[in-house]
Amino acid sequence: MMNDNENTNHKICRKCLIAAQAEAVDLAAEMDRFLAMLKPEDMAGDDLFSKRISICKDCSYLLGATCNACGCYVEFRANVKHSNCPKKKW
């Protein structure tokens, strides 16, 4: 009897994993979950967060909600008080 790993006739679509993940992951909910793990004293305040995000919005490294320089979600990075931009823009 063959298990899944031995089934060499099984073809995998190159986009199936990403498509399945995009459907399964609600990014806003994921962000809320990440932010809930931060202590209040470790969070950037509203002014600092807004200043950082406005810089990210004009940055050529921004790809969707992700920083293409480091791979993180910029909203999460900008919410962490002692975080910084990998390109030293903030």
Residue 44 makes contact with ligand SF4 by CB under 6 A:
no
Residues sharing a CB contact under 8 Å with residue 90, sequence separation 6 or more, in sequence order: 51, 52, 55, 78, 84
For the bound state, the minimum distance from the C-beta of residue 67 to ligand SF4, rounded and expressed in Å, comes to: 3
Rounded-to-5 percentages of helix, strand, coil across the chain: 50, 10, 45
- In three-state secondary structure terms, 17 is helix
The contact pattern for ligand SF4, residues 55-84, with x = CB under 6 A and - = no contact, is xx--x-xx----x-x----x--x-------
Residue 51 makes contact with ligand SF4 by CB under 6 A:
no
Question: Which residues are at the interface with ligand SF4 (CB under 6 A)?
Answer: 55-56, 59, 61-62, 67, 69, 74, 77, 85-87, 89
